[in-house]
Amino acid sequence: GGGKAKAATRPIRGADRIARFLLGIASKTPDARPEWMELNGRRGVLLWEGDVLASATILEPFGPKTLGAMYTIRNPEKLVRLARIRSQS
């Protein structure tokens, strides 16, 4: 989050830990709305909290049915341009 938003401070590894982390976030933001889209040529998801873009996540596959990595941006200053582009479409 660059000190501007709450974010994991270290990489989270392992399917169980990642699932628990994501479920914890979801339980704290019941009004969150995902929007699936392509980000930088990869499958990604924007997470909206009301009208505010809270995060952008790029999903990197490891295989045909396996997720290798997730890269998330939560810094609001970095999300401004993307939010503006999405609101114009």
pLDDT digits 0-9 by tens, 2-61: 566 766 778 888 878 888 887 887 788 888 888 999 998 999 999 998 889 999 999 888
Give the global pTM.
Answer: 0.77
Instruction: Give the torsion sign (CA, 69, 81, 37, 25).
Output: positive
* pLDDT over 80 (residue 89): no
Residues 6+ apart with CB under 8 A from 56: 39, 44, 45, 46, 47, 72, 73, 79, 82
As a whole-number percent, the residues of the chain with pLDDT over 90 amount to 18
